[in-house]
Chain A
Amino acid sequence: MVCLSLRSALASAFGIANRSSTLGVAPQLQHIIQSTRHHRPQDAAAATFSTSSSTFAKKKALIRYHLYHPTTLTPRPLRFSRNRALRHWTIHRAWNLYRMKVKRRRELELERQYNAMAAANEELRVGAGDGGKLFRKAQMKIGTWSIPERGGGVPIEYARGQVEWVGTVAGGVGGPAKIWDHEWKRA
């Protein structure tokens, strides 16, 4: 009975529709239930499926209030003069052309790399003079999809992201920043 009453008290405190009454609720939880009832005028059984609490509803209202803008500011049409529209069109075309060239250059580079790799593997297969033994060994994918602890996969050091700037001072400890660890030693 104690467990059931506690459960129902928590359920009503968090706004969950519950069939049982609040008769056996501990007295210290009564005021919580009363306060939540106050914010929720509907009956618990007829409540909507939403379980969001009243504080969250308040926050939502606050966000809506701040997102409201007077009609003098909305909508904001973008009007161009004739020459300005032509300039915009030119800039747009130039950008597309530029991006296309960058993309083409990258594609060609990848193609060159792929062709170099394919040529090397073909040479290894037929031209190494060992009947393709080295080629077969090189084509084995053992450990490619493994994890670094088992001696395969991609090491976590490869996840170093590129940044726009490097600093002069090391964060936290002070002293000069270490951009590259030249002093690394194999344990």
Chain B
Amino acid sequence: MAPKSRGTALLFDAFTTAQTTVESPPISNLSPNEPGASPAPQPRIVVKAGVVVSRPPLITPDPHPFDTAFYLYQKRLNERLVLPFTQYFHYKRGTPAFEHWRTKRRERGGIAARDLGKYNAYTKESWNDEVLMGDESAQPQKIVEQLVEEEGRGSEFVGEDAGADPKLAGLKRATEADVRSDETNLERSLGRTLYLLVRPKSQKEGVSSPTSWRFPSGDVQEKEGLKEAAQRVLGSSCGVNMNTWFVASHPIGHCVESASEEQESKPTDQIQSSDVDSEKTFFMKARIFAGQADVKDNTHGLEEFKWLSKEEVEKHVTPEYWTSIKNMLVEQ
């Protein structure tokens, strides 16, 4: 009986002391809005949602010269090893298709493959399968040119375009937008991932701010997740006529900016910079499939937009901004 009574007495003692000795509640219970309640002022943070809209590459990456050279080397080695091409299995003797095939095969020097260059693995010279320096038979463009020439219909696929090459049947890897270097066009740099960057209007009239490019971003409103905020910000800043897809609901990168360095570049009607200590932007990843950005009726004070690859992004943004965003962008 004695230990139990002692325990209740101890509890009671603790309760009474807690009741009597408390002068002020713990700091964590206080609301930060009450003036003078907390000893140190809490840092005021503005959370913003940024959108990294990217256009995925549409064509394969440009092959490294070593790639093309090595593939030709391996193809010729394979030609030395495999069984001969069974032409009577694929072409019936005496048909027009067979005659066409045989004529073209003779023109190629008696070899079945079209991507080997001048090399026959069934002659005395078959040991000589290595190409010399400056040989162009491995180039993809040369192979396509040979195929088009054999078919003989290259000029039918050029159309009205003056820049299209009939030798390649109008096939190309660089478009007109590449030639004009039109950075708002999405048909530019087809082999690269392009990112949507916007530039806010400069505060002072007549002063251009060439390094204030950034990803579209805006405040997160009440009861809104980052993804919903990013979708809303993208619609209100760059227009709704983009077929986009948000890859995840969590951010892929972030950028912390203190308010003092923000005061020059930010419009004053959005945030009172004086009572904000830092501004944290969380970037959401989105892909674009169709459509185009349009900053005509935006509510974020944006002036223009550009679609840029990673190196071009580095040239457009400030060094501090680049440090915080460079790791989430892809090379190709």
Contact = CB atoms under 8 A, between A and B. Distances in A.
B253 A117 contact: yes
Nearest to A109: B331
A43 B26 CA distance: 98
Contacts of B103: none
A39 interface: no
Contact of A168 (B42, B161, B282): B161
Contacts of B161: 168, 176
B251 interface: yes
A140 B157 CA distance: 50
B328 A182 contact: no
B190 A166 contact: yes
Interface in B81-110: 81-84, 86, 88-89
Q: In which size bucket is the chain A interface?
A: 35 or more
Interface in A92-150: 94-95, 98, 105, 109, 112-113, 115-117, 119-121, 123-124, 127-130, 134, 137-141, 144
Given A117-B251, A139-B250, A179-B187, A63 B89 contact: yes
Interface string B232-247: 0000000011110100
A66 interface: yes
Contact of A116 (B127, B171, B253): B253
Contacts of A69: 83-84
Given A137-B225, A168-B164, A186-B241, A124 B81 contact: no
Interface string B132-170: 000000001000100000000000011111001000111
B86 A66 contact: yes
B80 A76 contact: yes
B226 A138 contact: yes
A82 interface: no
A1 interface: no
Contacts of A91: 70, 73
A181 to B, nearest CB: 4
Contacts of A74: 83
Nearest to A171: B157
Nearest to A105: B331
Interface stretch (B53-61, B196-204, B207-215): B53-61
A68 to B, nearest CB: 9
Given A163-B59, A181-B291, A124 B173 contact: no
B306 to A, nearest CB: 15
Interface string B46-89: 01000000011111100010100010010001001111101011
B141 to A, nearest CB: 9
Nearest to A175: B159
Contact of A180 (B77, B89, B157, B290): B290
A67 B86 contact: yes
Given A63-B89, A162-B57, A168-B164, A120 B282 contact: yes
B11 interface: no
A129 B47 contact: yes
A138 B144 contact: no
Contacts of B241: 184-186
Contacts of B248: 144
B70 A95 contact: yes
A116 B253 CA distance: 5
B41 interface: no
Given A113-B328, A138-B226, A165 B171 contact: yes
Contacts of A168: 157-159, 161, 164, 170-172
A175 B70 CA distance: 38
A155 interface: yes
Interface string B290-320: 1110000000000000000000000000000
15 contacts: A76-B82, A105-B331, A117-B252, A129-B47, A134-B47, A134-B220, A134-B225, A158-B289, A164-B60, A165-B173, A168-B172, A176-B159, A176-B161, A181-B291, A184-B291
In the A-B complex, the 10 residue pairs with the closest CB atoms:
A168-B170, A184-B290, A66-B89, A157-B289, A184-B291, A165-B171, A120-B254, A116-B327, A137-B225, A168-B164
Interface of B: 42-45, 47, 55-60, 64, 66, 70, 73, 77, 80-84, 86, 88-89, 127, 130, 140, 144, 157-161, 164, 168-173, 175, 185-187, 190, 220, 225-227, 240-243, 245, 248-254, 256, 280, 282-283, 287, 289-292, 327-328, 330-331
